[in-house]
Amino acid sequence: MSSYLLSDSKNSCSYLSHQRGFTLVEIIVVIILLGILSAVALPRLQSSSDYQAYTLRSTILSSLKLAQKTALAQHDSSVYWILERSAADQWQIQLRIDSDTTDSNVADDVTPGQLADPFIVNAFVGYNVSLESGPNRSSVSMGTGGNLVIMYNQLGDMVEVVENINLAQASDYPDPDDATDRVDSSLTFTDSNGEFCLSLTGYSYDETCR
């Protein structure tokens, strides 16, 4: 009896000794394959409207980064980033530069709009930012014909925000000498995928404002 138990115990130990776990290389290969499958399958699972909204968000974030870099490179100029909903399913992003911030006619010498090709996107964008004085700039969803204008200073900071102005009217643009439109908080954007942020220092990122 005891010899049988001893023999069975030896066989069990021998079986366990031949078992082994996954190697690090195997785990890494599995993770890589899962990543590839996710990258291929996720766009197919998402609706076209989700994909359009994500594309618009990515474009906004990229253009905000470009606006800050432009402001840092322009030194004595004010840079205006403009988001306009020109039609229900059409968005336009522009970047304009005022090369003389000392004249009394702000934005008279704004350069022609850049990034001017319209985006055909069936999506919504909302925003909220508080001002040092006056009501907040806020919209649950920008309406057709609406626009949002953000002014950067020479340090690349977001300093002023106006909304729904006449883009052809120079006096409607933010005035660096007028504190009426000066911001005192980060600007929170909202779309169907959640929130993303533009900080006071001009840093834009794909997360809720911290």
Q: List, in order, residues 6 or more apart from 94 with CB less than 8 Å away.
A: 80, 81, 82, 84, 113, 114, 115, 116
Q: Is the pLDDT of residue 141 over 90?
A: yes
Q: Which helix (H) or strand (E) holds 87?
A: strand 78-87
Domains of the chain, earliest start first: 48-205 (3.55.40)
Count other Cβ atoms within 10 Å, centred on residue 177. 8
Q: Is the pLDDT of residue 22 over 70?
A: no
Token pair belonging to 141: 């969803």
Rounded-to-integer distance, Cα 172 and Cα 142, Å: 18
Q: Is the pLDDT of residue 38 over 80?
A: no
State the first-to-last Cα distance of the chain, in angstroms, to the nearest integer.
71
pLDDT of residue 16: 44
Q: List, in order, residues 6 or more apart from 142 with CB less than 8 Å away.
A: 83, 85, 124, 125, 126, 127, 148
Asked whether 176 and 160 are in contact (CB, 8 A), the reply is yes
Asked whether 98 and 106 are in contact (CB, 8 A), the reply is yes
CA dihedral angle for residue 2, residue 4, residue 7, residue 11, rounded to 10 degrees: -130
Whether the pTM exceeds 0.85: the reply is no
Asked whether 66 and 95 are in contact (CB, 8 A), the reply is yes
190 vs 119 pLDDT, higher one: 190
Identify which of 16-20, 62-66, 77-81, 172-176 has the greatest average pLDDT. 62-66
Q: Is the pLDDT of residue 100 over 80?
A: no
75 vs 163 pLDDT, higher one: 163
Token pair belonging to 206: 């794909």
Provide the pLDDT confidence category of residue 39 given band limits of 50, 70 and 90. low
pLDDT of residue 2: 47
Taking only the tens place, the pLDDT of each residue in 158-199 is 999 999 999 888 888 888 778 889 999 999 999 999 999 999
Provide the pLDDT confidence category of residue 15 given band limits of 50, 70 and 90. very low
Token pair belonging to 15: 């079986």
Burial environment of residue 161 by CB neighbours within 10 A (0 to 12, 13 to 18, 19 or more) = buried
